[in-house]
Structure 1
Amino acid sequence: MIYMLKVYKLILRCFGKEYDYSHSKLLSRYYGRIFGRKLKKIDGLDFIIAPAGSSQIAFLKTTIPIIYLSDTTYDQLKSYYPNLNKKTIINDEDASLIERKAIEKATVVSFPSKWAMDFCRNYYRLDFDKLVEIPWGANLFDDIHFANKNIIQKNSYTCLFLGVDWERKGGKTALKAIEYVRQLYGIDVRLKICGCTPNQKILPTWVELIDKVDKNNVDEYQKFIDVLSNADILLLPTIAECYGMVFCEAAAFGLPVVATDTGGVSSIVINERTGILIKDPLDYKHFGNAIHKIISSVETYQNYSQNARIRYNNILHSGQLG
């Protein structure tokens, strides 16, 4: 079954199209049969947890309670990402049906953001009792030691751009924002880009590129920790973001955030408390002024930094779910 779908995907790729068979009704029914048989052989299960598993549970026949976890739903995603179906072939009818059946099948449906919760409640007309908002914690293996960050007597400041998709994460706006701060305020602000490569050949001297790190590799994980530890601000003018684990990770290090107020970001970053959120992802001047506001005041910087770490300890730590 999966082999046939993969072959079809390869054929379409020859014509410059991508095929997402993960939301195929054919595959979802197949999952339902396979997992249904396996569950019958297992005794004593109290519940099933299905992270991003709409296709796996939509046609699953079981009396075991199901907890469905996701950062959004297909029906929300297709309107939020306008180019989704232009780049990828998805059977819209199948995908919507699978999502709805998965939500109906689940005993509990959990999202990490108010943005996703509100959409799901209104679109699917769900009872409040079925929906639970549980923030996701930072994807870190160790408890991060926090020392109060200090920007007193700094000659230069580092903004960290961390992400794998240069365009969607707002890379061009980030570059313009840093250049704006440097020219208008005469401050030596630098941009460290980690995880992606800008789609332009010549970059300013104040830009540093760092390859994407594999956190499952011990040495690269330490490199990731060092990158976050040595940054002053996380800058992410993202165009679309369902949640953003990177914001949780920034909070662990007490990094103030300057980002776009979009999707589920505001469930992690509290505007004017742990960072500054901006409505327009293309307004580089607003981003630049936000950066200047944070680094030009020691009191503002330390308040944002300490508030971010407190929020990490209370809500954004992966151990909180336990």
Structure 2
Amino acid sequence: MRSELKVAFLTSTDPTDKTAWSGIHYQMFKALKEQRIQITAIGPVWDKLPRAIIYILDKISRALFKKRYNKAQNLILSFWYAFFFKLKLKINKFDLIFVPVGSTQIAFLNTELPIYYYGDTSFSQINGYYPEFSNLISFSNWESEYIENKSLNKTHVRIYASEWAANHVINHYKMPKDKTFVVPFGANINDHIPIFNSAKLKDPICRLLFLGVDWKRKGGDIAYDTLVHLNNKGIETELTVVGCTPPVEHPKMLIIPFLNKNNTSDYQKFSLIFKQTHFLLMPTRAECAGIIYGEASAFYVPSLATNTGGVSSVIENGVNGFMLDFEAKAESYSAIIEKYFLDKDRYRTFALNAHKKYKNELNWEHWAKKIINIIEDTLKK
């Protein structure tokens, strides 16, 4: 059956573009293609005109009402996509449509084909959870929820990156439990699997990594306080910050405002940083999935994060990291770091187990196999 499956991969972006949606669409499309199915990309869709209109609406809403307008989920984009995807679906005969994070793309799409939807959250869950989906004007709240509900009711099967996201659509949108599944994201690294850097076991400096564009949402203040606390305790520690410019400074903090993993030179820097890192420190305030934790595991780096959102579907306590309570402060993060950093044998086991979790669960090949198995088990039901 597998080789006979004809799948339409529906995205508004170009899934052969490594920069689209942080490379996630590219990795998904590539991984599914490697499962020997007949998969066709029916994106991208040109959408500069509707996006320009939406940009203006957001500006007006902010100026007049001090409220945001949801630029990702709205009727303008949704009707636009429905028109063009209906045309694109006529280019070939398909058995099903696979839609990664595309409620806006399918809400008004008229098709008889079964839709398999993959996501990491839904509107009512992220509304008020992420800053960019907070303080929306009331009409934007209404149309976003309308689009989410309408798109979910068009799907044959729903697959989510975490139990957190899946349970929400089951409970809030009343989606059937037997047609809702969980398959975590893979790690966005290249095909070369790293080897363990045993030299860092002899490194007298504890090297921490904070990686993200949003210092506040990712818990940067707690990461900074942890750096200060460890050094005050006499444990020489350095914190590398990648992806943003923090509002604070410290002589033991290295700042790299931007790295493009699609650039060979930048990816080599990214890889080298991870190989030298002892812990990924991300005390995030809000997180839907957290692909970065899988990437850390691939590089033998345990993660320290907050038990929030979908993090628990990626981090397994004591295996590839630890999740701390939302209220946890620098002292709690420091205690775990000290315990493992000072015991080299304990740390080595921790690092090797993190990589094992990546190889067994947190890679795109495993993700694609799980997706295909779900399709084969549910397509005729």
**Does TM, normalized by the shorter one, top 0.5?**
yes
Which amino acid letter does the alignment assign opposite residue 241 of structure 2? I
Q: Is the 8 A contact 1:21 1:90 kept in 2?
A: no
Are residue 36 (structure 1) and residue 82 (structure 2) matched? no
The alignment partner of 1:22 has SS state of coil
Bigger shift: residues 11-20 or 114-123: 11-20
Quote the Cα distance in structure 2 between the aligned partners of 1:149 and 1:49: 42
How far does the alpha carbon of each residue in 1:30-81 deviate from its partner, in whole angstroms, 9 at most, with x for none?
3222222332x32221211211100110111001111111110011111433
Match of 1:276 in 2: 322
Is 2:170 aligned against 1:121? yes
The equivalent residue for 2:284 is 238
Q: Once the 2 structures are TM-superposed, how far is the Cα of residue 163 of structure 1 from its aligned partner?
A: 0.8
1:304 Cα offset (Å)? 1.4
1:280 Cα deviation after fit: 2.3
Q: 1:233-270 deviations in whole A, cap 9, x for unaligned?
A: 10011111111111010000110111111111111111
1:228 to 252, 266, 274: 274
CA displacement at 1:13 relative to structure 2: 5.9
Q: Give the alignment partner of residue 127 of structure 2, picking from 54, 63, 78.
A: 78
Query: Which segment drifts farther, 273-282 or 3-12?
Result: 3-12
Please give the per-residue CA displacement for 1:294-316, whole angstroms capped at 9, x wherever unaligned. 21222321221111111100110
Q: Which residue of structure 2 aligns with residue 307 of structure 1? A: 353
Q: Which residue of 1 aligns with 2:375?
A: none
Moved more, 164-173 or 266-275: 266-275
Across the two proteins, how many residue pairs are aligned to each other?
318
> Any gaps of 5 or more consecutive residues in structure 2?
1-48, 370-381
C-alpha separation in 2, matches of 1:269 and 1:31: 35
Question: What is the 5 A alignment of 1:97-176?
Answer: 97-147=146-196, 149=198, 151-176=200-225
- Provide the secondary structure at the position in 2 that maps to 1:310: helix
Which residue number corresponds to residue 195 of structure 1? Answer: 243
In structure 1, distance between residues paired with 2:319 and 2:296: 14
Unpaired runs of at least 5, structure 1:
none
Is residue 212 from structure 1 mapped to residue 258 from structure 2 by the alignment?
Answer: yes
**One-letter amino acid of the counterpart of residue 142, structure 1:** D
Shift of 1:147: 2.1
What is the distance in 2 between the residues matched to 1:48 and 1:271?
Answer: 36
Q: CA deviation at 1:181?
A: 1.5
Deviation sequence 1:136-182 (CA, Å, 0-9, x none):
10111223222264654431110011111101111111011121122
Distance in 2, Cα, partners of 1:88 & 1:164 = 25
Deviates further, 188-197 or 24-33? 24-33
Counterpart amino acid of 1:123?
H
Task: Sort the Cα spacing of 1:6 and 1:179 in 2 relative to 1 into closer, same or farther, 3 A.
Answer: closer
1:90-101 equivalences under 5 Å are 91-101=140-150
The answer on whether the counterparts of 1:239 and 1:281 sit within 8 Å (CA) in structure 2 is no
**Aligned letter for 2:239?**
L
Q: Does 1:287 align with 2:353?
A: no
Contact 2:201/2:344 (8 A) holds in 1? yes
Confirm or deny: 8 A CA contact 1:20 1:90 kept in the other structure: no
Tell me which amino acid in the other structure corresponds to 1:262.
T
CA–CA distance in 2 between the matches of 1:88 and 1:231? Answer: 43
Q: In 1, Cα distance between the equivalents of 2:80 and 2:130?
A: 28
- 1:229 Cα offset (Å): 1.1
- Normalising by structure 1, what TM-score? 0.92
Relative distance call for 1:156 and 1:4 in structure 2 (3 A) is: closer
Helix, strand or coil for the counterpart of 1:235? strand
